[in-house]
Structure formats: C-alpha cells, structure tokens
Structure 1
Amino acid sequence: MQLSFEELSKKQLYQQQTFKLVQDYYIQLYGQAPINGVMSMELRAIYENSTKVKKGVKNLYRSIREYFITYYPLIINETVASIIKDTKDIMPQNVVIEPIISFIYEKKEGANAIGITTKSLVTLGSSKDKSVEGDFMPGDIVMVIRKGQTHDLCKNYILSGIITGKKKFKYTLITSNSSCMALSKKNVEGEYVLVYVSNIISSKREYMALLKFSDSPLAKQLMNPTPPVETEKKKVLQAVKEFHIDEGYKKLNEAQRNAVIMSLNQPLTLIQGPPGTGKTQTISCMISQFIQRGMQVLVCAPSNMAVFKLVENRHMWEHFFKNKKKWVHIHSKKPEKSDGEESTRKRKDESNRKIRPKKRIITGNSLGIQKDLIIDETDYTKSAALIDDAMAGASLVFCTLSMAASTAVSKKEFHVVIVDEVCQSIEPSSIIPLQNSVRRLVLVGDPKQLPPTIFSESNDLSVSLFERLAETITPLILDTQYRMHSDISCFPNKTFYAGKLIDGVVLESIVPMALVDTGGEQKRNRTSLYNPREIDFIEDLLPYIMDKYKSIAIITPYKEQSIRLSVNRKIINRQITVSTVDGFQGQEKDCIIVSTVRTNGIGFLNDYRRMNVALTRAKYTVIILGCVRLLEKDKIWKQLVAHLRTNLQICTRLELFRRLTNSSKMQGEGQKAELNELFRRRANSPKILSKEPEEELESPKSESAKTNGIDTDNLEADDTLAITVGTETESDEILLEKKEPIDSNISEVILSTEGTTSSTDANKATDPNAGILDDNLRKIIEMHLFKR
C-alpha cells in the first residue's frame, strides 16, 4: 500500500525526532562514564560525520577514541531502527495505554523534559484485563496521543519520549519535541493517553558497555589483538594431569581438550564449534577446571535459551559446589520466543503485554532441588538484601549478555568470562560482561552459523567480536561431530567447513536426506511469506514419520509459515516442534522437515549461514521441501541440489511415502555401537596441543553504576529475572516482580521442585494412496537413495 504525502511526511518526521531523542538520551548518559579524549559536546559532531563518511568496522583499533567513534554511531542507528520497527509492529487492538491527568514541563541538560501524571493501565480491546497501576518503567519508549487516535501511532502522535524516572503514576520523560511546553499549560485530563512503544534497556546497556570499555584490562587485547604465545607442552600437561583431570575431561576428544587447555593458559581464547561438535560439553569441562582453580566465573550467551542449555549440562561441575559454595543462574521466567525475525538481544513484540512479568532469582545445587522466592520489588532494602544473600558466595554465575549489566551481576567481581553463541551478538553486546576484574575471556561460537539480528540498514554491526578477532587470531575448531548421519553432515562439511569435520558417530537411517519438489505458490501476509502447498504436504507426511522418530521438528526461514504451521491442528495434536530456522540454532531433533516456502525469488534462502543451520539440526533424517527450479538459480543451493541428485536423494512424494511405509523400525534402535565406540576412541586419543599443529586450521572470515541496592533501570523491564543459586544440599529460586523503584515488601514465597519432560505419541499409519514403483527403480532407491 502506497502512503500519501502527508502520511510519508509524518513517518519521516517521527524517524527524525526519534534520532534526536536517542542522541539526547545518550548524551545525558555520557556524563555517567565519560571517555578520556572524547568531550560530550563532540558527540553530535561524531554522529553527523559518520553519516557523511562511511568508515565501517576495522579489524584493529589504535585507541579507545577510535573504537568509540566507530561504534557510537552504529549503536544510535540500531537503537533508532529497533524503535521504528517496534512502532510499526504494534497492532491497534493491542495498544497499551495510561490516561494522562497532567503535564509539567522543564528544561533539562540541553533537552526537553516533561513530568506526566497518569491514572491506571488500560489495554484497548480487552475489557477482561485487570488494570495495573504505574506499569511503565525507566527505559520505555512512550508516545503522547489524543484519546481515541491510537490506531495509527506514527500519524497521530503528539510527542514521543523515553521514561527516565518514575514514582507511582508520575513519570519523567526526556523528549525531542518542544510541543510539551504548550501541553503543560493546558488542562489535559481525559484528552490524552500515554502509549507504550518499545524499551531500549538492552541498547542502553550496550552503549554503557562502550563507555566503560576503557576500564577493562582486556580492552587493549580486544582492540589490537595479537596471536597468543603457545604454552609449553610439558607444563600444560603436568598442570592438567596432576591436579585436575576428572571424568568429564577424560571423555573429551583431542580438539575439545586442547580448547580447555588454551582457555586455562591465555587471556583470550577463540573456539569455533560447528554443529554437533560438543561445544556445550567443552564449556562445561572448562567451567569445571576454572572452579577447581578457585576462580570466579561468569558464563553468558545472547539469549535465555542458550544460557539454559549450558545450565542443563551441569553434571560436569555441579559436584564441586559443596559447603557454602553456590552457582547462580539469572534468567527470564517468561518463555522466550523462537522466532527468526526477532532479535535475541532485545525484547520484541512487547506492545501486547498487559502485566509486566516477574523477575526471578533461582538458587540451585548438585541435588537439583529448587525453591522459588517471589519478591514484590518495591522495597529497595529488602530486595537488595535478598539478592545479596543469593549472590553471596557464588563462584559461578549464568546470565544473558544484557543481564550482565544489571546491578545483581555487575557489582560482583569475576576472574573469567565465557561467552557462548558469541557470533549471534553484536560487538557492543559482547563486551557488556567485561568488568574491571575480568582478565580472561573465552569466546565460543561459529561464524558459519547465524549472525546477529540487525535492524539498521548498515551491515557493520553484523560483524561479531569473534569474527573481527578471528582475522588476527586463529580460532581452535572443534572437529568431530557426534550428531548427524554421515549423509547429512557430508554437504555442510564440504561446503562450509572445507571438509575438516570428522564424523564421530555412525547412525542407521531409512532416509538420511530427501528433497521433495513440492512447488506450489508463495503468498504474502504483511511482511512475511507462506506456502500453503508445503503445509498440505507436511500434513500428508506426518502419518508416515510419527512412528519412526522420537522427536520431530519443522523449521522454516519465514515467520508467517512458522505461525501457520504452529496453529495447524494436525501438527499441534502430534506435539511436533515448529520454529523458524533462526529460533532453532543450537537445538537438534531426530527428524527435521525444512520448509523453504519460496517459489519466486530466492530471498532469505541466499543466506548460507541460515542454510547451514537448517541442514545440520537432524540426527537421522532431513526432508527438504522446495521448488527445485528456483533453488537451482542460487549458487550454493544449486550445489546442494546437484549433490542430492548425484546420490539419488531427490524424490517424489510417493517415493518418499512408500519407503517410509515399508520400514517399521524406530530410528535410533539397533545402532552400530561398536563403530561408534571406535570413532570415540579415535577422537579421545591422548594427544596434547603441540607447538607445531599437524594441519593449519582455517581462519573464519566472514550498563550501569555499581550500587548496594536494586537498580530498577538496570533490571530488564519486561523479562522475568531468575537467579539459580546452587550448593551441595539445595537450590533456591527467587522471583522478583519489578514494579516501582522505591520501597517494597515480599509478597509471596513459593517452594518448588521443577522439571520438564516431553513425549511424542507414536501414530502408525499406512499409505492407501501410494503409487506402485517399478522394481528396478525400487532397487535403485534401496541402494542409493535410502542408504542403510
């Protein structure tokens, strides 16, 4: 739909004012942590110069000033792009408002500021929702709009601002619009409402990390990296062998052991973990080694889901937490969306929230017992005491990169920071955990998989810290994959990893790989695509695979296709996981169905990192649905089609259904255990990182002041915080409900033991409509297409 000149002008004005608003806000924050050699009065000029001369991200930086000047404009652009996207995504029926009673105008530090008094929270279109008083929080982006005109925010808003302070129903906003002066002189009660748009706490934390970066002992090494000096083999071997070898370490293969050794002996370590190569296992062993050496360890990842996976694999280190020792996990209680078009760095699509989710602190131990402590966080003193008690004595902390800037984490000192999935975060986010005491950093990721999600037009922020450093420091690559059937790993290994991966497991599969030319027609809904024929095919396919696999997932590059699949009753009733490709990185299932959707224009499919993720999630079977004619127009997809055609792995739906029907065996049963053991023995050969590596590894190319109280601005405004603290005997879980940055009382204490299980009902079916194959063709399929 084409916009009118008036509508276009209004949207452009909103974008311009948002740029000014963000700059004003960041200039105010600059005073909290000024950088030597950069004056606050320079900040506007630095940004303006960046719009005229495109310099891009460098591999090396000579000074903090040069580093700051590079990333400051990029953070502003990304913050603004995120706000604009959130504004466009708000649906009229989900607008969250507070009716305004009065305005009070004041001029503050070169920017317009306004005090707004409101009544209570109202959600339009939902009369059943309970009101929540004073729901907006510092860091929220809000708009002032006339009552009844919330159907088009960009067109009808009067002013927008960032909440910088709050007391009950009274908010302080910084705004770029001078019309707030006129509003303050009117009797406005009943005429205007305050509308929630977005939240920029994550962006603010990235900006504050940039300001504080010069305080880090690792700053010089990260700006101007130099290849590490190799440690003497004898010294390293003796240190590990004599004092700290445990069962977990013994189970690692050569590359995994070398990764652990490197992390113990140098301040900066880069580890590349291709799909299924056991990076989580390696990180767990790393944690074990650091804890045994008495170090304080902070483990981070861009998303709550990635952090959960690290905590779940705690069997290697949990037994070290005895007496008063604790491990702590801070996380969001609200389930995280596995949506490819949503950033793992920021909280998206929050405009439909009615009530702010609670924050949690979970305390855990080696027995796995957990307690939930819910806190009404309106009492600074009591909340601070509870958090301090939970964190006291904790030598191991897990949280997201953004949460590392919260007061609960930032005031604690750490010796080591481990960042997993680092290639999925922008560099300013990756440096958030680097506090003054951190002198050792381990970055784990894979530049051949998904990059950070970026909303701004520039691609500069898509270069992760790992990728930039890898231009100078060669990462250690974990080279043995234990997940996939060899037919599945073959193409990704050859195409994305130069054939350097070893298959560490031998699996049987009735259909390792299959490409079905489904055709159909792609259709559009708002900004995403879907393909009804592929959905129909999946419905028909399910009866043939439900009794063959213990776990099944359907993944697609497109949000709309994912939504339509996830609400399909035939799929829901079978408890099958549905996700975008982006939301499924790091996960695996026995069988993966890849719905490519497109029949016209290659679109998302030309992102080869997304393609790599899609092809490497399955253990036994990958079934790709797509338009072969279209796929062959892309260079890499054409190579995949040729690879599958050579191995007779392109088939019709009837061929696929018949082969699946003829086998009744559940995949995973009757594996060749002796061959698996042989592979593992080879991988576990007792070699040590040598001074002269046998083969040169490929270099991948590709917020807040520390206080004794709770800083509500630094706690995530919309996520649920949880801290899991573990000792030898029990684990506690404390829930923090974030309300007002003033006094509070504990409202409820819940003691519980949590655990999750999942199961899939097997539904065996026959194929009444299957065609009859020629005997010769059947033999060919038996021999080549469906290798046993």
Structure 2
Amino acid sequence: TIWLVAQSNVAVRNIAEKLDKVGFRDFKLLVSKDFHYDWHEDLYQSLEHCFIRSDLFGGSVVEISRLLLDARVILCTLSTLSNPNIDTITRIVPVQTVIFDEASQIEVGDYVPLLQRFQNSLEKMVFIGDDKQHRMPVVIGDFISDHVYNKKLKTKHDDTSKTACRFLDVKMGWEESVGHSWINQKEISAVIGLARLYETQGKKFKILTPYDAQRTKIEEQLKSAKLRWEDKCFNVDSFQGKIWLMFGAGNEEDHIIISLVRSQGVGFLKNVRRTNVMLTRCKKSMIICTSRDFVTRGQAAGTLVGKLAATMGPQAWQD
C-alpha cells in the first residue's frame, strides 16, 4: 500500500477528484470530519465509500480493517500522517512507501515528525519535483529560479519574450472582507473584460485567485456575461498539485489571468510557496490584475509578486 501525501486538505481533495475521474477508486481518504462536508455533493456521493473521517480514526483493529478494505493507496495530508490518532491505521497499513506531492511546497522541518515516527517502517520516500521546467516562458521561469529555487531551476521553453508576463493596473480597486475571505469588485470587472477578450480571440485560459469569495463572484459574473464559466476560475490552492499530471490533470493552461484581490493587507502573498504555485501555471502568458501602487510601493512590494513587478519593470504594466 502506498501513502500519497499532500500539504493541504484542498490539494488532497483535488488528487482524489483526479483519481475518481480516471476511474481509480481503490484508495482511502483520511479526512477531517468537518472538511469532508465542504465537498461538492456529486463528488461526495461518488467518493463516499473512500472516506475515513477523523471521528472514526480511534476505532478497533477490526473496525478500521473493515474501513480500509485492503486499499492500494491511502491519501492524506502531511499533518494527518503525523497525527497519533491514526496509530491503528498505521499498524494495519505500515507506512513504508510515501509519495509527496509538490514536495518543494513543504518546509524541510515538516518532514521531521514523520521521519521520527515511522523510522522503523519507512522504506521509501518519493518526492515529486524536477530541476527543469518546460511549462513557463523563460522570463517567468528565470525569475522563479532566482527568487524561489536559488537559481537551480532550469527553464527549457521557446518563448523568451518579456511580454509573457504582464500586469494590469486596476485603479480604485479596493479589497472588501467577506466572511473569512476577500473580494475586489474592480478586479472582478477587469477579469471579466480580459476573459471576454481571450474568448473572442480563441485563447485557452484559466483564472486564478487566492480567495474563494473572489472566485465565486468571478464565476457568477462569467455566467451573467454569458461567457464560459465551467472549469474556468479557480482558487489557487485547488489548482496546484503536480501529482495530478500522473492522472491527466489540468493544473496549467496556455494563458493565466490572476486576480490578487488585496489592496492593503498582504494576506496570501506572505506565503512564498503558495504564491509560487500561483505564478507558475501558465504555458504562454500570465497577466496579473492588481493595484500598481500596492505592488510597487505598498505593502506587497516586498512579496514575490512585488519582486516580479520590479523585475519586469514599468513596461510590463498596462492600464
């Protein structure tokens, strides 16, 4: 049995979706009692037999064995695998082979509890990663190499133009708090305008944003504008996962439109790993909708996006 591990609940869910799409259902998904209720109803119904909820982790050996049913793959987050509450599960299915999805997104120190806990059973660890990338145009790949991978990431791509990375200055775009998330109405309008243009031009594109509330609003506006909205707009965390590629996944697109949303607080942009995911999804071009002042002179100037704007220079901006 293989343990397939990702950093976040969202990433784990997306791997499960891809496994389901290719018809592979011989796996079990260890998931928190609360998080599994956030799944779309149709997906929940198709994968209900794969769930082992956290409130069941403490069952007897017989009960857990019935739940596992000799599954070939066990899918969970890294924190779940380090949780002592799954002791019964790991006794029945020893942690011998672990595959880590997007291993570079995980801090080195986060592996330590797992190594200590399973030092007597662990035989093989597989890290999904590569020192060469063929997806992104050179200007983006080189920037990511310099600022994230200590100049160790090599780019192999035909597009060497700087126009592959652009910024759209969204003037008077203000962040608004919506529950635990954020929206930016001006950026929504800008994104819809770009989506209409790209669709008219026949371009293949997807829209990314760090915030679910913004994703929902953009999707609603795409529908209202009678533009394609299905499989079009994503929360950044739901779009990542290199392991998807093993199952014909679509975590990349020719053209990427990004809505940063925030105009005052840094928020999501504090996390370099997640920002890195957001900036590395395009195959041909990327345009980032945000406030120029916020990114070049405001709080975001020191973030990865701010450094990208500085590297691209004033010519990368359009009004």
Same fold (TM over 0.5): yes
| Correspondent of 2:316 among 639, 644, 649 | 649
Q: Distance in 2 between matches of 1:382 and 1:300?
A: 25
Contact kept? 1:601, 1:630, Cα under 8 Å: no
Alpha-carbon contact 2:164-2:286 (below 8 Å) kept: yes
2:49 to 352, 360, 377: 360
Contact 1:519 1:599 in 2 (8 A): no
Number of the residue aligned with 1:555: 208
Matches within 5 A, 1:242-257: none
How many angstroms does 1:603 deviate by? 3.9
Partner of 1:584: 239
2:26 and 2:115 map into 1 onto residues whose CA distance is: 18
**Which amino acid is the alignment partner of residue 203 of structure 2?**
Y
Q: Name which of 97, 107, 126 aligns with 1:416.
A: 97
Partner SS, residue 238 of structure 2: helix
Instruction: Answer whether contact 1:520 1:599 (CA < 8 A) is retained.
Output: no
Q: Is the 8 A contact 2:96 2:122 kept in 1?
A: yes
- The structure-2 alpha-carbon separation of the partners of 1:618 and 1:479, relative to structure 1 and needing over 3 Å to count, comes to same
Cα distance between partner residues in 2 of 1:613 and 1:382: 41
**What amino acid sits opposite 1:360 in the alignment?**
H
Q: Check the 8 A contact 1:307/1:400 in 2, yes or no.
A: no
2:166, 2:317 within 8 Å by CA — same for their partners in 1? yes
Change (3 A) 1:529 1:493: same
Say whether residues 1:537 and 2:205 are aligned partners.
no
What is the Cα deviation at residue 482 of structure 1? 1.8
Paired residue for 2:125?
Answer: 442
Please tell me the residue identity of whatever aligns with 1:444.
F
What SS does structure 2 have at the residue aligned with 1:567? helix
Would you say the 8 A contact 1:492–1:612 is kept in 2? yes
Give the 3-state SS of the residue equivalent to 2:173 in structure 1.
coil
The two structures, once aligned, show a CA RMSD in angstroms of 4.4
Do residues 485 (structure 1) and 137 (structure 2) align? yes
1:515 and 1:644 in contact (8 A); partners too: no
Structure 1 contact 417–442 (Cα < 8 Å) conserved: yes
Residues 520 and 534 in structure 1, CA contact (< 8 A), matched pair in contact too: no
CA offsets 1:267-321 (integer angstroms, 9 cap, x no match): xxxxxxxxxxxxxxxxxxxxxxxxxxxxx64333344346448959x9xxx9xxx
Structure 2 residue runs of 5 or longer lacking an equivalent are: 52-59, 242-250
Which of 299, 309, 320 aligns to 2:4? It is 299
Task: State the Cα deviation string for residues 731-787 of structure 1 (Å, max 9, x = none).
Answer: xxxxxxxxxxxxxxxxxxxxxxxxxxxxxxxxxxxxxxxxxxxxxxxxxxxxxxxxx
Cα 1:574–1:429 shift into 2, 3 Å = farther
Match of 2:169 in 1: 517
How many Å apart are 1:627 and its aligned residue? 0.8
Q: Which residue of 2 aligns with 1:610?
A: 274
The CA deviation at 1:537 is 1.4
Q: Is the 8 Å Cα contact of residues 138 and 156 (structure 2) preserved in structure 1?
A: no
Q: Is the 8 A contact 1:518 1:626 kept in 2?
A: yes
Structure 2: distance between partners of 1:383 and 1:437: 25
| Residues in 1 aligned to 2:186 and 2:33: alpha-carbon distance in whole angstroms | 34
Distance in structure 1 (CA, Å) of the matches to 2:27 and 2:37: 24
Percentage of identical aligned residues: 21
Give the conservation status (yes or no) of the 8 Å contact 1:509–1:620: no
Residue 565 of structure 1 pairs with residue 246 of structure 2: no
Q: Which amino acid aligns with 2:5?
A: C
Larger Rg: 1
Distance 1:420 1:381 in 2: 29
Residue 168 of structure 2 contacts residue 290 of structure 2 at CA under 8 Å; is this kept in 1? yes
Is residue 501 of structure 1 aligned with residue 190 of structure 2? no
Query: How far apart, in 2, do the equivalents of 1:381 and 1:495 lie?
Result: 48
Compute the displacement of 1:527 (Å): 3.7
The 1:521–1:387 alpha-carbon spacing in structure 2 relative to 1, beyond 3 Å, is closer
Change (3 A) 1:545 1:310: closer
Alpha-carbon separation, structure 1, partners of 2:38 and 2:202: 41
- Summarize the Cα distance change of 1:353–1:534 in structure 2 as closer, same or farther, 3 Å threshold: closer
| Aligned residue number for residue 73 of structure 2 | 397
Gaps of 5+ in 1: 1-295, 319-326, 333-343, 363-379, 446-476, 653-788
Amino acid at match of 1:540: G
Matched residue, 2:286 = 622
Q: Deviation at 1:597?
A: 1.9
TM-superposed CA distance for 1:641, in Å, is 2.0
Instruction: Provide closer, same or farther for how the CA distance between residues 298 and 347 of structure 1 changes in structure 2, counting only shifts above 3 A.
Output: same
Aligned residue type for 2:309: V
Asked whether the equivalents of residues 515 and 626 of structure 1 are also in contact (C-alpha less than 8 Å), the reply is yes
Residues 416 and 525 (structure 1), Cα distance of their counterparts in 2 relative to 1, 3 Å cut = closer
Change (3 A) 1:531 1:441: same
2:246 corresponding residue in structure 1: none
> Conserved in 2, the CA contact under 8 Å of 1:597 and 1:626?
yes
- Read off the aligned partner of 2:98 and give its amino acid letter: V
Q: What amino acid is the match of 2:259?
A: S
Rounded to whole Å, the distance in 1 between the matches of 2:149 and 2:99 is 24
Deviation string 1:163-182 (CA, Å, 9 cap, x unpaired) is xxxxxxxxxxxxxxxxxxxx
Residues 219, 229 of structure 2: 8 Å contact kept: no
Conservation of the 8 A alpha-carbon contact between 2:142 and 2:154 = no
How far 1:616 sits from its partner (Å)?
Answer: 0.7
Match of 1:438, SS state, is coil
Question: In the aligned structure 1, how far is the partner of 2:40 from the partner of 2:91?
Answer: 28
